[in-house]
A = this chain, B = another copy of it.
Amino acid sequence: MIDQRHLPHALVVEDLDTVESVFTAIREMHVRGAPLIGAAAACGAYLATTDTTTPEGVDASVIRAVGYLKEARPTAVNLAWAADQVRDAVLQANGFEAKIDAARNAANRIIEDELDRCRLIGEMGLQIIEAAAARTNRPLNILTHCNAGWLACIDYGTATAPIYLGHDRGLKLHVWVDETRPRNQGARLTAWELGAHGVPHTVITDNAGGHLMQRGEIDFVLVGTDRTTRQGHVVNKIGTYLKALAAADNDIPFYVALPSSSIDWSVGDPSVVPIEERDPDEVHYTTGSASGGGTASVRVTPPGSSAANYAFDVTPANLVTAFITERGICPATESGLRSLFPESENR
């Protein structure tokens, strides 16, 4: 995996070959992004099969690993969803080799399916970009928050998939990138991705988006999600809600790129979704490239001040213009989601 903590200052690839190393990589955010931590957890569950020699041992090891991996981070639903799939595949298979094959196949299928979902979100979202581009004769200005790019998703990304596809097809696009404090996934990761792909972009502080909307400098907002409830409430990186409010106040469309793996059909009311609180040092300190080379951290706050670090917030469904899923675009309502995913009625 790419250890994303070091981007954009260094490209560090890390081998993860134990359940514990996968757990640490997820918790400490070497890997992050809802689809990616799902895929990583699935691979972690598969790795648990390799340290045992009996069918019963495989079952016990995978059950234990899945319970453990699900504790790494609480908010994104993909993590539990993916780990449970590997566990269920193992439990349903018979025999030692078959269980190991089932785990490997389940993990690989999650990766392949996530790739397909992102690619299809790109095609579905391209309709929105093309329609918006047809209404203007200047480059389209899209605001995004955090990183819902290929780094978060194996490839394509969710929110970035339509952007890359539109750019590749010659549409003139410019992306406003929220820096996304405290971990700066926008300034570090989305900016790096877009730059590598040649997509024009400008990094702004998280404070600036409302002002840009008031001035007509944003055509629409496009973000990802860590968990969306069946009623259409969107749990995403802290600060997403503020941008949704500003979009509504300025009559600007607010879209959420939503692979079905991020839908939590079991939850309606978003207040039951656990909101991760992370180390306050992520607020106190900022890490970046140092003038003398390498990276360094600086402390901004006074020594005696405390900080709080909430990682996600909830954007109510009524602030979301539409979801872009791998099966098409739908309103941010339960009936909208069920119309695209009728099999969800069984959940």
Contact = CB atoms under 8 A, between A and B. Distances in A.
A233 to B, nearest CB: 11
A202 B205 CA distance: 20
A298 B300 contact: no
A195 B314 CA distance: 31
A94 B249 CA distance: 55
Contacts of A181: 179, 181, 205-207
A210 B296 contact: no
Contacts of A237: 207
Interface stretch (A119-127, A150-158, A283-291, A331-339): A283-291
Contacts of A304: 195
Interface string A194-215: 1100000111111111111010
Contacts of A309: 204-205
Interface in A167-201: 177, 179-182, 184, 187-188, 191-192, 194-195, 201
B204 A308 contact: yes
Interface stretch (A36-44, A50-58, A70-78, A238-246): A238-246
B298 A297 contact: yes
A310 interface: yes
Contacts of A300: 179, 184, 187-188, 286-288
Contacts of A272: none
A212 B307 CA distance: 13
Q: Which of A187, A242, A249 has the most chain B CB atoms inside 10 A of its CB?
A: A242
Contacts of A208: 238-239, 308, 310, 313
A346 interface: no
Given A204-B308, A238-B207, A242-B246, A192 B313 contact: no
Contacts of A296: 290-291, 296, 298
B286 A298 contact: yes
Interface in A230-254: 237-239, 241-243, 245-246, 249
A203 B249 contact: no
A304 B188 CA distance: 11
A206 B239 contact: yes
Q: How large is the interface on A (under 10, 10 to 19, 20 to 34, 35 or more residues)?
A: 35 or more
Contact of A206 (B8, B206, B212): B206
A312 B205 CA distance: 12
A302 B205 CA distance: 15
A136 interface: no
Nearest to A191: B305
A203 B306 contact: yes
A179 B299 CA distance: 12
A295 interface: yes
Contact of A275 (B211, B245, B249): B211
Contacts of A313: 207-208, 210-211, 214
A307 B210 contact: no
A24 interface: no
7 contacts: A8-B302, A179-B301, A191-B301, A191-B302, A204-B307, A205-B239, A295-B298
